[in-house]
Amino acid sequence: MPRSAHESEQEQPEPITPGQGLAVTAEALYITNLLLLPGLAFIALVIVYVRNIRTAPALAVCHLRQTLSASLWAGTLLLVANIIIVLLGGYRSPNTWMVVIIYFTTCHATLVLLGVLGLARAMAGQCFRYPLVGRPL
């Protein structure tokens, strides 16, 4: 049944949770750091974190802390993968591809999936704690 103009005017959009925009920005920068602009997006995330952590609403603080923690873990895991490659014979060794494939199919893919889940929660106006790599709420 078609709606009249009067009915559509009465419908109000869902209210935006305070800090939701900043939470979405943090999650988007986290995913960008993992997939598109590693390093640059991390620097942008740190800048957003430093500028907003003291004054941001609770939702934004939650997502800022989680994304910064997960980004630091992602960097640590990448460093560990490189150390394992060096210990197994360097970058010219056949073992290199084994470590790279295992790292990307387990660690990196998991971090990206968690980032997408965090982004979905931020867009819904909900807090999210990254399992294993996130800070306690």
Condensed to tens digits (0 to 9), the pLDDT of residues 88-121 reads: 888 888 888 888 999 999 999 999 999 999 999 9
Per-residue pLDDT, 57: 96
- What count of Cα atoms within 13 Å lies in the side-chain half-sphere of residue 94? 0
pLDDT at 46: 98
What does pTM read for this prediction?
0.85
- Name 7's Cβ contacts closer than 8 Å, sequence gap at least 6: none
Alpha-carbon distance of 26 to 67, in angstroms, equals 7
Would you state the pLDDT for residue 20? Answer: 96
Q: 77 and 130 in contact (C-beta within 8 Å)?
A: no
- Reduced to 3 states (helix: H, G, I; strand: E, B; else coil), residue 99 is helix
Interior CA angle at 108 toward 52 and 66, to 5°?
25
Q: Average pLDDT, stretch 46-57?
A: 97
